[in-house]
Amino acid sequence: MSGHDHHHHHDHDHEHDNHFTPIEARVKALESLLVEKGYVDPAALDAIVETYETKVGPRNGARVVAKAWSDAAYAQRLKQDGTAAVAELGYGGRGGEHIVAVFNTPEEHNLIVCTLCSCYPWPVLGLPPVWYKSPPYRAKAVIDPRGTLADFGVTLPEGQRIRVWDSTAETRFIVVPQRPAGTEGWSEDELAEIVTRDSMIGVGLLQAGARS
């Protein structure tokens, strides 16, 4: 069912369980200070967080995916050792201790969850979205992955299996979505543009759409 044995969860201290990691704690403290002193409008702060959540952070992951689509040798390295392959593009560090790339195929769709906290591959995906940390998502993704995808408006073909990967403090996952039809001959930059954060978590599918 999920990509690892649950017993391992209890061996490490989940300092990020319901407490903040030191960096999150600092950010929170800074946020409240800035808001309290009137330096920052909370709405402006939300806009900044939103940018990191959906635009800046996931662009790294989008580049990884685009390179994997464009370069079969890179895709192979990514499959064999996600951490090293991601590091080739200059991404890594805390939150990316061990990154495993899981590839969607017509037969199998991958979905990522962290049932015990909210471990997330920061270096490639940036900040976790609020829903990713929510108990309903964390519980339902494991019990009813198809229903979870339906909540995000995603319907998979009947025959496509869903495989759920449960992140831990040691292992984070990134989904390599299927390359959309109609993107033949696109450059890596053009491909990276269409890769969404949600597709790299497994709750979104990709369309070629219009090239910007």
3-state secondary structure of 140: helix
Measured distance CA(202)–CA(11) in Å, rounded: 27
Is 116 a domain residue? yes
Is 8 a domain residue? no
Is 71 a domain residue? yes
pLDDT tens track for 186-203: 999 999 999 999 999 999
Buried b (16+ CB within 10 A) or exposed e, 82-96: bbebbeeeebbeebb
Is 210 a domain residue? no
CA dihedral 185, 73, 111, 179 (to 10 degrees): 10
Give how far Cα 92 sits from Cα of 50, 64, 112, 191, Å.
21, 12, 19, 22
What six digits make up the tokens of 144? 């009813």
Predicted local confidence at residue 50, as pLDDT: 74
% of the chain with per-residue pLDDT over 90: 55
Is 206 a domain residue? no
pLDDT tens track for 56-104: 778 999 999 999 999 999 999 999 999 999 999 988 776 556 999 999 9
Is 160 a domain residue? yes
What six digits make up the tokens of 146? 């198809």
The answer to whether residue 167 scores a pLDDT higher than 80 is yes
Task: Give the CATH number of the domain where residue 183 resides.
Answer: 3.90.330.10
Averaged pLDDT, 127-155: 93
Which of 34 and 152 is assigned the larger pLDDT?
Answer: 152
What six digits make up the tokens of 5? 């044995």
Give, as one character, the DSSP assignment of residue 163. Answer: E
- Answer yes or no: pTM beyond 0.75: yes
Predicted local confidence at residue 198, as pLDDT: 95
Catalytic residues: 114, 117-119
Predicted local confidence at residue 47, as pLDDT: 74
What six digits make up the tokens of 208? 């070629």
Work out the pLDDT band at 175, boundaries 50, 70, 90.
very high
Is 172 a domain residue? yes
Kindly calculate the radius of gyration of the chain based on its CA atoms and give it in whole angstroms: 17
The tally of domains found in the chain comes to 1
Is 183 a domain residue? yes
Work out the mean pLDDT of the chain and round it to a whole number: 84
Give, as one character, the DSSP assignment of residue 178. Answer: P
| Domain carrying residue 152 | 16-201
What six digits make up the tokens of 168? 């831990």
Measured distance CA(13)–CA(30) in Å, rounded: 26
CA dihedral 60, 65, 67, 70 (to 10 degrees): -150
Predicted local confidence at residue 210, as pLDDT: 54
Backbone angles phi, psi at 112, to 5 degrees: -110, 140
